[in-house]
Structure 1
């Protein structure tokens, strides 16, 4: 499929992945429509001239309206938190995904890309885990509902009329990344950040533009019914990643503490924030997300899509540093 002049609908267009995808899609000659739940105006989207529809992915009327006259849907909208009530996650991550996919199918959309996550493998998977798994919900609502969403949406795959592609994104970093850039930097500035278990294990980082390259390749090649891990394909330890982040910002190297100690500290911090009616900024469960031991395999994406991550960690960090220097990141924490 030639992407030029195609109309792309992006759900969650005002979030990190959606916003950057819109920029790169327009640069490739695509027309972009965006669905977002927030009524707040976004200057970047206004400057891009994107057509915006405001509403929820769980609303079938809104979903049908958004999908009319669209060639491709990139579904990025999700509830991405470390913990919480499973019902809330299911409503958005499963119900919202299926609602959007059914609306797209009914509207005659050809391609539906579901943005999933390597978190479907859980916290303790085999080294070089491939798309065939094993999958593990870990009794975590985010992991569980991302697995459920993949299963549900792939049942609607019916090429050539309607094709589903699932992208399991790694830990997406770059300008605008809340979990892997903004939160760690803010905590480092307050001298509250520590690596768990000496930062052993591997971060499956993927620079935002590399992820979008992978998504566009999968659409161009019409790989319907397929699932792809998309990461930078580098084995970077958590310690190295966070040491680079601190050094880049001229901050002290993070301390290392046992995982259980950090979780206890965060638990007490959350209780204190709730007591003083402050917004809870980081949950103890986030440490489980930051102690995964191995790298995921991207061999399938490399062989089937000819995917080659072009922006390596050094350049990705430099681009992120330039963005951090001109951005008030505190304002990005909702």
Structure 2
């Protein structure tokens, strides 16, 4: 499929991934429409995007957003580390299915679902491929990302309606809260620590590499396929956070046993609740930051000819440039 002049709907366009996808899509000659959860978040005026405010669970909004669209890139999701599974299901499963059905009814040809490598849970085989095993690991985010995929795949019916699933690794870059903004803010306060000597692997994925992979999958019309996408580098948690600290000349974070970090964060979040503040980081986040192994991207390399263009050094350099001119404290709220 030639992307030039195609109309692309991006759900969650006001978030980190959706906004960058819009910028790169426009650079490729695509027309972009965006569905944003709130009209409060301003899309840059220099970005030529038709914005629609509304919830992905609203059938009328979904129908309106999908009219006259060639491709849907569905990035909107609830990404907290923990919480009531009912809330996750409403957005991650029901919202996804609502957008997909509206797209199919509107004659959209391609539906790309941004899933997550978290469908493998927290304890998975080294080099796990798209065939699994999948595990919700009693985490609402992991579980509902699995459920969303299970609901979507049966809708795949090319050439009329093709579904592509992208299981993204740990996406970072300018605007990223979990892997850039949140740890940097805690490092500035000397509150950040990594667990268990920083063992295990962060499956980092620079934002532009992710968008490249998505565009490749669309161009190759890889309908009915599921792809793991990462930068393909084996980087330990310790190395990642040490390098992140170095971008600001901050003191290197220390290592603390996993159980101690969880206890600290539990007490911290309870204290924030007492003062009617939203917890800035949940104890469950430690599970996300101690995963053991790399995911395999062999399938994407083989079928899509996916070659990550931006390595960790360059990705952190670009991100650091953005951090220097941005008040990241405001973005963390």
TM over 0.5: yes
User: Once the 2 structures are TM-superposed, how far is the Cα of residue 43 of structure 1 from its aligned partner?
Assistant: 4.4
1:173 matched to 2:172: yes
Deviations 1:41-77 (CA, angstroms, capped at 9, x unpaired): 4142x21120001100000000000000000000000
Q: Which 5+ residue runs of structure 2 have no aligned equivalent? A: none
Query: Which stretches in structure 1 are left out of the alignment for 5+ residues?
Result: none
Q: Distance in 1 between matches of 2:135 and 2:144?
A: 11
**Aligned equivalents of 2:46 and 2:330: distance in 1?**
20
Q: Which residue is 1:328 aligned to?
A: 327
Native 8 Å contact 2:168 2:229 kept in 1: yes
Determine whether 1:107 maps to 2:106.
yes
Return the alpha-carbon distance in structure 2 between the equivalents of residues 235 and 41 of structure 1: 35
- Residue 189 of structure 2 corresponds to 190
d(CA) in 2 for partners of 1:311, 1:221: 22
Partner of 1:69: 68
Q: In 1, distance between residues paired with 2:11 and 2:39?
A: 14
Pairing of 1:246-285 with structure 2 (within 5 A): 246-285=245-284
Confirm or deny: 8 A CA contact 2:195 2:286 kept in the other structure: yes
Query: In the alignment, is residue 79 of structure 1 matched against residue 43 of structure 2?
Result: no
Q: Hey, what's the Cα distance between the residues in 2 that align with 1:223 and 1:27?
A: 22
Q: What is the match of residue 212 of structure 1?
A: 211
SS at match of 1:155: helix
Quote the residue 1:6 is aligned against: 6
C-alpha distance in structure 1 between counterparts of 2:121 and 2:84, whole Å: 18
Q: 1:7-33: CA deviations, max 9, x gaps?
A: 000000000000000000000000000
Counterpart position of 1:226: 225
Partner of 2:138: 139
- Which segment drifts farther, 103-112 or 47-56? 47-56
> Following TM superposition, by how much is the alpha carbon of 1:279 offset from its aligned partner in structure 2, in angstroms?
2.1
Q: Does the 8 Å contact 2:14/2:41 carry over to 1?
A: no
SS in 2 for 1:175: coil
Task: Give the length in aligned residue pairs.
Answer: 333
Which stretches of structure 1, 4 residues or more, deviate above 6 A after TM superposition? none
2-structure distance, mates of 1:85, 1:269: 20
CA displacement, residues 165-195 of structure 1 (integer Å, 9 cap, x when unaligned): 0000000000011000000000000000000
Q: Given the two structures, how large is their TM-score scaled by the length of structure 1? A: 0.99
